[in-house]
């Protein structure tokens, strides 16, 4: 798609790998959006899972008026960055919204991202999700029980009153009234949940870094480059997605993320990025980089 011909609206890019049940739940939640079918498309990029995904997605395509594109890439190991870049390249709309397979969207999600982009046309918009923890599987069984026994709308209604399932970043952002205006390091918390940005900006900075061949860090690294390109970040205050619980190894995640963090630090050679070596996202958000530079000068 020529950049000059991008349409007003959002391309939803969903990456998946061998989790067909999670993928279908994610797609189904986007088929119930309040937004017009003309305002968005769904691009599913499959990172080499078995071919059952193709048949199931095609079946959904035949039952809906919403445009759904399925892209398959050969399994060459962890290829999330490459998959998302293929989604960016295929996008027909002015903005791209990144969603992982296994995220359930509220019926208002598309409309909320479109509204925020109208306010700040070049902002990076991101949001929090119920069920998001940094590592591990806290509340796995309880959350799965709620989702299994409720409709999508009922699940969101129940979770609003259950703070134990709130995104691990929620309390921090609530304490600053969800205002990122003076938070220069907000890129460090731009991971998980849902993130949207201008298609042109994503292409201009080269998309995701395809060096990443294991879990963790590629979204934060992209967010830092978007910030360096002059973009500002805005947070959607309400939680409009649910992160479906699935098995993962916390120890393995921590190990892989440390390797990737070292790569990010070496790549950028920047005082803010250097903080990733010793600090977590919350401490980085609290750090005043300009003071650090003045003290060390």
- Is residue 168 one of the residues assigned to a domain? yes
- Is residue 278 one of the residues assigned to a domain? no
Task: Please state the separation of Cα 84 from the chain's center in Å.
Answer: 11
**Tell me: the pLDDT tens digits for 13-59?**
999 988 888 888 999 999 999 999 999 999 999 998 876 667 778 78
**Tell me: the pLDDT tens digits for 222-280?**
999 999 999 999 999 999 999 987 655 455 566 667 889 999 999 999 999 999 998 88
- Is residue 291 one of the residues assigned to a domain? no
- Is residue 119 one of the residues assigned to a domain? yes
Residue 133: give the domain boundaries.
Answer: 3-249
Residue 176 above 90 pLDDT?
yes
What mean pLDDT comes out for the span 195-211? 97
- Is residue 273 one of the residues assigned to a domain? no
Residues 286/294, Cβ–Cβ less than 8 Å: no
What mean pLDDT comes out for the span 153-160? 94
pLDDT of residue 295: 38
Strands 7-16 and 93-100: parallel
Residue 139 above 70 pLDDT?
no
Question: Helix, strand, coil: what percent of the chain each, to 5?
Answer: 45, 20, 35
* Residue 230, domain CATH: 3.90.550.10
pLDDT of residue 142: 87
* CA dihedral (232, 238, 241, 245) positive or negative: positive
**Tell me: the pLDDT tens digits for 114-124?**
999 999 889 99
pLDDT of residue 120: 85
pTM exceeds cut of 0.85? yes
Give the number of domains in the chain.
Answer: 1
- Is residue 180 one of the residues assigned to a domain? yes
- Is residue 195 one of the residues assigned to a domain? yes
- Is residue 294 one of the residues assigned to a domain? no
């Amino acid at each position: 798609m020529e950049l000059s011909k991008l349409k007003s609206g959002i391309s939803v890019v969903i990456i998946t790998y061998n989790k067909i049940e999670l993928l279908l739940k994610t797609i189904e939640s986007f088929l119930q959006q309040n937004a017009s079918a003309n305002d968005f498309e769904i691009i599913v990029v499959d990172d080499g899972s078995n071919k059952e995904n193709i048949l199931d997605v095609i079946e959904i395509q035949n039952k809906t008026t919403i445009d759904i594109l399925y892209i398959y890439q050969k399994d060459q190991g962890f290829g999330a960055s490459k998959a998302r870049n293929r989604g960016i390249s295929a996008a027909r709309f002015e903005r791209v919204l990144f969603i992982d397979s296994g995220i359930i969207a509220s019926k208002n999600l598309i409309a909320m991202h479109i509204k925020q982009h109208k306010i700040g046309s070049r902002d990076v918009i991101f949001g929090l999700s119920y069920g998001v923890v940094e590592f591990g599987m806290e509340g796995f069984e309880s959350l799965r029980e709620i989702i299994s026994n409720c409709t999508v709308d009922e699940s969101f209604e129940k979770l609003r009153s259950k703070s134990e399932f709130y995104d691990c970043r929620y309390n921090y952002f609530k304490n600053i009234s969800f205002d990122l205006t003076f938070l220069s390091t907000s890129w460090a918390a731009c991971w998980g949940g849902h993130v949207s940005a201008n298609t042109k900006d994503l292409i201009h900075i080269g998309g995701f870094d395809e060096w990443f061949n294991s879990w963790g860090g590629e979204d934060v690294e992209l967010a830092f480059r978007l910030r360096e390109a002059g973009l500002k970040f805005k947070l959607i205050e309400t939680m409009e997605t649910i992160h479906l619980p699935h098995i993962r190894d916390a120890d393995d995640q921590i190990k892989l993320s440390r390797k990737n963090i070292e790569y990010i630090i070496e790549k950028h050679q920047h005082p803010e990025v250097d903080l990733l070596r010793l600090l977590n996202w919350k401490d980085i958000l609290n750090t005043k980089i300009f003071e650090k530079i003045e003290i060390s000068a």
